[in-house]
Structure 1
Amino acid sequence: MNRLSQALELTHVSEDDKIPDDVWEKFMRDSERDIRASAPKEPSSRAREVTERLRRNEARGELPEGWRTGPAWQEKKSRRGLWGVLGVAIAVVVAVVAVKPSLVPGDFFGGGSDEAGDAVASALPVETAAPTAAPSAEAPEVPTLDEPFAGSPAKRWADGAAGIVVPKAKGVGGQSAAKTEQALKLTKKLLVESNLDPGTLRGERPEAALDVLDPVQKDVRGLLETALSKPDKKHDPLWMFSRFDPKEARLVGDVVKTRGRMTFKAGDNASVVVHADYTFVYPVVQTNGSTEVTRTIIRRVLDVDIPDPSRYRVTPGKLNIVKWDQDINNSACDVYDGYLHPHFPSSEPSGAAPSGPTTDPYDRSETIDSNGDEACGTVSRV
């Protein structure tokens, strides 16, 4: 009772939330009637006379056997008066809730906690088109081991693979809806295995991701194989895979925040081309025992297709890479050892000094200019 009353007292009622006049007037009439009925009444002269006679008989010990006397009767009377008052209060609550249930904060009837509701309400809807601007600035917060996404727009993004939503398939480019669905699912698998798989993030060989790619496309497979075994500036596995040096940094927890979209269209090779554009946010900590948390943000854009095997020399059920691009933020510049090297504010920066422009790594409204300045820049926030 106290919990509900307090909740109603603390709830602001806007003009739109007011109880209709006719309902309120009926409620006031009923409440006034109940209060009059439960209010104590002045005893009549006859009642006072009977009470006085009983008092004298009680003093002489002459009350009939079994008569309810003294404290028990008084307690019953007191309880009846209390329940009358409580009944009116309960009637107030029931009337208000019946007319406007939204006035009661939380989930009073057990449908879920307020915290769960807040989390659901704050989650961003699925991205279906390019945003028109960067996410708004967040309140400045320092990320911690318990809250690695504090102060980041990614806090409202989906977790991991849940953020890679496959659109409904349909036939295009002479290919069936089933073929389109296959291409979409393989694209998601490639993204997951390349950017979210725990082994890949620990720097292990991304075997499952490589298996999605067509071995016949030797320029891509060959480049990636060389990059994984002998990385250098012209053969960088970070072009496709997110990998941290296990001797230097590790992921905080097991959540990587993900946001982006996937589309498809008819291709030039009697195929369906899938376009994927996703940003991944990795909270990391050094492996030297420090508890300082930072974040590396990577945006990946790639086009893939499955050409018609009846017309082209391809491996059925494998993806061909048409185009790829990436934007890696908060990692050492000009270091080509095959790993990401996050910058921690308390540590000396590694790699070359940034010489490019300052950018917002969370801004998904701009395209990645693959022909632009390749100089490593700085970020406005992490």
Structure 2
Amino acid sequence: MAGRPSDGTPSASDDEAQPSTPSISDEEWQKFVQDAERDPSSAPKEPSARARMVTERLRRQDARGELPPGWRTGPAWQEMNGTATRRRRMWAFLGVPLAVAVAVVAVRPSLIPGDPFGTAASPVQDTAAPSPLPAETAAPTAPPAAADPDTPTLARPFAGSPAARWADGEAGITTPEATPVGDLSKAQVEQALRQTRRLLVDANLDPATLRGERPETALGVIEPRQRELVDLLTTALRTPDEKHDPLRMFSRFDPDEVRLAGDVVKTRGRMTFEKGEHASVRVHADYTFVYPLVREGSDEVARTIVRRVLDVEVSDPTRYQVTPGKIAVVRYDQEIGNSACDLYDGYLHPQFDSEPPVGEAPTGPTTDPYDRSKGIPEDRREECGVVSRT
């Protein structure tokens, strides 16, 4: 450290005799000593002899008007270099995470709040998982539009089918809100709707029924006083033939021939109710079921489509001889797409593109099995037709 400078302000002659020793006042020196004692690392450093000489020469040149205006306002080079160093260190520290952030935003710009790039206006659609349709509340006015001509696979068994947007299984069979009908209470109407749903689910969606087993739940909700119907269905399940065909009420597949491709059956339809005859409520159900199927040892998928129309009644048990909690089946009808014609073994037989046709050749008209805009005529001819799509 340099020695303490002498007191006073140097004269002009002193400046020339001792140009390298500019004076420092007692107050400045005392402050320097105190700062150094408190914190040696932060105390101001005493200027070197050369620095004092340069400073004094500049002061004299400035007094004589030899320096340009504003020469004091610029930062020292040491200060500028220090600032640049700090900036370089900051960018080096921020560079890696900033590069990662830029990369993430480039891939998913929607992460920026406010969507400044307008990506929300044109989202990328996932064609493998189309948006589901709202529930059907009335008969549609036209068949569903053509779907993409994709080939069904084990991973996407409903590819290329309008049913890809339908509900899965039981979720597609919903009951309307019950209200009192005639002499029947809301609770009695609710029970009629609930039992109708149980019959539909067990007859068309239960895995045991689809494997060809006896649909005990469905048979159990039918009014036992309908002896003729109960006997017909019992015979059809035991020894099916053309007059006793269980497919009129139940969906069944030969487990030695095919199995479901996955565990989902697509369902679409609606259920309504109104006042019926004999102090009853009449429930009308109209549902279409789409079954994706595959043979053992193969990955080729075929779809069979079954549409069922079911009308049931529940009468006032205080006025008629009925079994409480049971439903009387008034009508049951069906349309079947992609199943062998004129085979009465009690099973549906889907046609695979790689296999030769099974059963008799179709003789009926070409129809769209997905068209729910038209009802099933009760007096239609029993003909096996051709389907326009599956």
Alignment TM-score, normalising by the size of structure 2: 0.73
Which residue of 1 is the match for residue 38 of structure 2?
none
Write the distance in 2 (CA, Å) between the matches of 1:70 and 1:380. Answer: 75
Which residue of 2 is the match for residue 206 of structure 1?
215
Per-residue Cα deviation, 1:194-244 (whole angstroms, up to 9, x for no partner): 000000001111111111111111111111001001111111100100000
Partner amino acid, structure 2, of 1:125:
P
Structure possessing the higher radius of gyration over alpha carbons: 2
1:198–1:54 CA distance, 2 compared to 1 (3 A): closer
1:127–1:50 CA distance, 2 compared to 1 (3 A): same
Higher helix share: 1
Matches within 5 A, 1:81-100: 97-98=113-114
Write the distance in 1 (CA, Å) between the matches of 2:234 and 2:95. Answer: 85
Which residue of 2 is the match for residue 339 of structure 1?
347
Per-residue Cα deviation, 1:54-78 (whole angstroms, up to 9, x for no partner): 98xxxxxxxxxxxx69855631377
Write the distance in 2 (CA, Å) between the matches of 1:323 and 1:211. Answer: 17
Partner amino acid, structure 2, of 1:190:
L
1:185–1:76 CA distance, 2 compared to 1 (3 A): same
Please tell me whether residue 223 in structure 1 is matched to residue 249 in structure 2.
no
Write the distance in 2 (CA, Å) between the matches of 1:49 and 1:132. Answer: 82
The structure 1 residue matched to 2:336, chosen from 328, 338, 345, is 328
Write the distance in 1 (CA, Å) between the matches of 2:325 and 2:116. Answer: 54
Partner amino acid, structure 2, of 1:323:
R
1:341–1:102 CA distance, 2 compared to 1 (3 A): farther
The structure 2 residue matched to 1:243, chosen from 249, 252, 259, is 252
Please tell me whether residue 74 in structure 1 is matched to residue 88 in structure 2.
yes
Which residue of 2 is the match for residue 372 of structure 1?
380
Which residue of 2 is the match for residue 63 of structure 1?
none
Gaps of 5+ in 1: 1-43, 56-67, 107-112
SS of the equivalent of 2:381 reads coil
Write the distance in 1 (CA, Å) between the matches of 2:224 and 2:94. Answer: 85
Partner amino acid, structure 2, of 1:240:
M
8 Å contact kept, 1:300–1:325: yes
C-alpha displacement at 1:49, in angstroms? Answer: 5.9
8 Å contact kept, 2:183–2:316: no
C-alpha displacement at 1:324, in angstroms? Answer: 1.0
1:278–1:102 CA distance, 2 compared to 1 (3 A): farther
Write the distance in 2 (CA, Å) between the matches of 1:314 and 1:178. Answer: 17
C-alpha displacement at 1:170, in angstroms? Answer: 0.2
The structure 2 residue matched to 1:187, chosen from 189, 196, 206, is 196
Which residue of 1 is the match for residue 56 of structure 2?
none
Write the distance in 1 (CA, Å) between the matches of 2:327 and 2:311. Answer: 10
Which residue of 2 is the match for residue 105 of structure 1?
120
Please tell me whether residue 311 in structure 1 is matched to residue 348 in structure 2.
no
Which residue of 2 is the match for residue 50 of structure 1?
76
8 Å contact kept, 2:173–2:267: yes
Gaps of 5+ in 2: 1-69
Which residue of 1 is the match for residue 357 of structure 2?
349
Write the distance in 1 (CA, Å) between the matches of 2:127 and 2:120. Answer: 11
Write the distance in 2 (CA, Å) between the matches of 1:77 and 1:151. Answer: 53
C-alpha displacement at 1:373, in angstroms? Answer: 1.9
Alignment TM-score, normalising by the size of structure 1: 0.74
What CA RMSD, in Å, does the superposition of the two structures yield over aligned residues? 3.3
8 Å contact kept, 1:261–1:277: yes
Count residues with an aligned counterpart: 313
Of the structure 1 ranges 355-364 and 75-84, higher mean CA displacement relative to structure 2 is found in 75-84
C-alpha displacement at 1:135, in angstroms? Answer: 0.5
